[in-house]
Amino acid sequence: MRLRDIPLSAWIGILGIMIAFICAVFAPFIAPYGEREVVAGVWEPMGAPYLLGTDNLGRDLLSRMIYGARTTLFVALAATVISFSLGIFLSFTAAVSRGPLDQVLSRFNDLMMSIPTLIFALVVLAVLPQNLFVLIMVMAILDSTRVYRLGRAVALDVAVMEFVEAARLRGEGKMWIIFREILPNTLSPLLAEFGLRFAFSILFLSTLSFLGLGIQPPAADWGGMVKDNKDGIIFGISAALVPGSAIAALAVCVNLVVDWLLKRTSSLKGGRGDA
């Protein structure tokens, strides 16, 4: 693949994701003020020296946005990686094993998916201690049900192919078949789904933070910043719109990259079919 073959929309998405990750990694060096440092009055307007103004406590909004990118991306990415690891392993195991194990896992997954995700998360997080580990695990387990459904569907298509049957006849174990035969032949749809689930994790985390059960103050995250500054909208203060716009922009950027990956995957399959 050549760089000039990447469409403009994908480049926009890649650029937006790179900016967010650069802010997350180098936050202490980029942010003009500390994450929790009160620098001025409440809801100062945009302009020098506070380019995005200040928040409801007088903290620099630009610095909070930069530090918030670190928290938001870390939690969303960690939850997505764990949910994919769990969902893919269980779904591929069910597809290869079939029989009672497949039925038990699939019916349990259907049961979990029948419960509204947000309500389930709110109930669990209200009971358990509020820390990053619990938050990440709750998000990952709930999201793994969606990954399981897709993983089982694509694994079943591959599990009936001749090269998988040949591996079984050679006496290969289930783990060999999963990681050496099925996984490499399902990477394209799974990578695209990973991008979508990452975008949904960002939105889900922002929703939980807005409702008070996500990232706890005074740590900065974009959803919590919307909650903290929402009252300013009544007075025409745009402090809540800045993190809200960042959440929407990052979700759009991720989707632009995922759309390009899906189109590229489809074109490659079409090329193989023509050949």
**240 and 229 Cβ atoms separated by less than 8 Å:** yes
What pLDDT, on a 0 to 100 scale, did the predictor assign at position 270? 54
Ordered domains of the chain (ranges, CATH): 72-270 (1.10.3720.10)
What pLDDT, on a 0 to 100 scale, did the predictor assign at position 266? 65
DSSP secondary structure string for all residues of 188-199? HHHHHHHHHHHH
Closest to 95 measured CA to CA, from 195, 162, 225, 182: 182
pLDDT in tens, the chain (275 residues): 566 778 889 899 999 999 999 999 999 999 999 998 999 888 888 888 888 989 989 999 999 999 999 999 999 999 999 999 999 999 998 988 888 888 999 999 999 888 888 889 999 988 988 888 999 999 999 999 999 999 999 988 888 788 888 888 887 788 888 888 888 888 878 888 888 899 899 999 999 988 888 888 888 889 989 999 988 888 888 888 999 999 999 999 998 988 887 777 666 555 544 43
**226 and 215 Cβ atoms separated by less than 8 Å:** no
The whole-angstrom separation of Cα 125 and Cα 134 is: 8
Q: How far is CA 43 from CA 47, 55, 215, 232, 253, in A?
A: 12, 5, 22, 8, 29
- How many other C-beta atoms can be found within 10 angstroms of the C-beta atom of residue 223? 25
Closest to 215 measured CA to CA, from 92, 118, 72, 91: 72
What pLDDT, on a 0 to 100 scale, did the predictor assign at position 268? 56
What pLDDT, on a 0 to 100 scale, did the predictor assign at position 273? 46
What pLDDT, on a 0 to 100 scale, did the predictor assign at position 157? 86
The whole-angstrom separation of Cα 254 and Cα 97 is: 34
Q: What is the pTM of this model?
A: 0.87
What pLDDT, on a 0 to 100 scale, did the predictor assign at position 274? 45
- φ and ψ at residue 7, rounded to 5 degrees: -70, 165
Helix, strand, coil share of the chain (percent; to 5): 75, 0, 20
What pLDDT, on a 0 to 100 scale, did the predictor assign at position 11? 92
**249 and 12 Cβ atoms separated by less than 8 Å:** no
